[in-house]
Amino acid sequence: MTSLDDTKASEKADTKPAAVNGESEIYIDPVMEKRILRKFDMFALSQYTLIIILAYLDRTNIGMLLRILAVYSVH
């Protein structure tokens, strides 16, 4: 084989798709990613807090209802 054939063979070996080489063609800006994740975390945290507060209020109301029913069922 000549050196021309060697360069063609090496070019074919280097032309693998990016996914095979473990590289990605998608560039994600680290600053933008951090901003978006922070925004999503704030949204999710507010939703989780609301759910916890509502669950606490619901549990409290059920407890009060049981006390009221217990008082009226005795008489």
Enumerate the domain spans of the chain: 3-74
Residue 37 predicted with pLDDT over 80:
yes
What predicted TM-score, i.e. pTM, was given to this entire model? 0.49
Distance CA(73)–CA(63), nearest Å, equals 15
| Four-residue CA torsion sign, 29, 33, 36, 39 | negative
Q: Tell me the one-letter amino acid at 4.
A: L
Q: How confident is the prediction for the chain on average, in pLDDT? A: 79
Cβ-proximal residues to 25 (8 Å cutoff; 6+ apart), any chain: 18
**Angstrom distance (rounded) from CA 56 to CA 67:** 17
- Mean pLDDT of all residues in 66-75: 78
Could you report the per-residue pLDDT of 4-14, keeping only the tens digit for each? 565 555 555 55
pLDDT band at 39 (very low <50, low <70, confident <90, very high): very high
